[in-house]
Structure 1
Amino acid sequence: LEGHADVIMDDVGPAVIPTVDVIRARFDERRGGRSSLDRIIRRLLGLEAKMRQYSDGAVFVHGVVD
């Protein structure tokens, strides 16, 4: 299920929510980490794997849709 909401937001969102591009940019920024220290802490806590689940899930959902 990870990534499904991202795909739906990106595919349906702009027609319904004009600011979806701003929302997407903020999600991507937050998921990417703000600094080297932030990325290290995420890796140590296993949060990097969680962020990867979103991108892997979106690839899967796109594959199913295609």
Structure 2
Amino acid sequence: MSGIGKILMTLGAVLFIVGLLFYFFKLGKLPGDIVIKKGNTTFYFPIVTSILVSIILSLIFYFLRRF
């Protein structure tokens, strides 16, 4: 059971950090994110935000694995 607890705590910490990033740095509206507006329809694809979050999560998991 301790393995599941450790995984849940790690996931909780990662979600907390990502939440802080979104709150303080207003992620989701970065230059390079694709926004297409036509009439009443809006398509939004946060490509730069996705890449940035991926890099941050990769670094977090790398450091968690080392310790």
Q: Do the two structures share a fold, i.e. TM-score over 0.5?
A: no
Structure with larger RCO (C-alpha < 8 A, sep 6+):
1
Higher strand content, 1 or 2: 2
User: Higher helix share goes to which structure?
Assistant: 1
TM-score (norm 1): 0.35
TM-score by length of 2: 0.35
